[in-house]
Amino acid sequence: MECGFAEGPSLLQEDAVPDEKKPENVSRDVADELRQLGQSFSGLGRTLFREGGVVTAELLRSLRGIVDRAREEIERLTAEKK
């Protein structure tokens, strides 16, 4: 039995988020970029799953650090715009 990340419904499908939780002012460009970002994370997950036997804790710590820095940068940039 094969298990992959591409199986099942996408988390970014239009009907995946109830209407009351959807941001009202998200532009088409932002929605497209979020969709592409989700696809990039999905690809990362597939690669990690496929290469699981050779993935090291050091590599995962490095990837987690990159994600944490990206989150911090997003928080910094959005705080400046508020």
User: What's the chain's average pLDDT?
Assistant: 80
Q: Domain check: are 45 and 60 in the same one? A: no
The residue among 41, 21, 37 whose CA lies nearest residue 29 is: 37
Q: Domain check: are 75 and 46 in the same one? A: no
More confident call, 24 vs 62: 62
pLDDT reading at 74 higher than 70: yes
Range of the domain at 45: 13-50
Q: Domain check: are 68 and 41 in the same one? A: no
Number of domains in the chain: 2
Q: Domain check: are 18 and 33 in the same one? A: yes
Q: pTM of the prediction?
A: 0.59
Integer Cα distance of 47 and 63 in angstroms: 13
Q: Domain check: are 46 and 69 in the same one? A: no
Query: For residue 39, which amino acid is it?
Result: Q
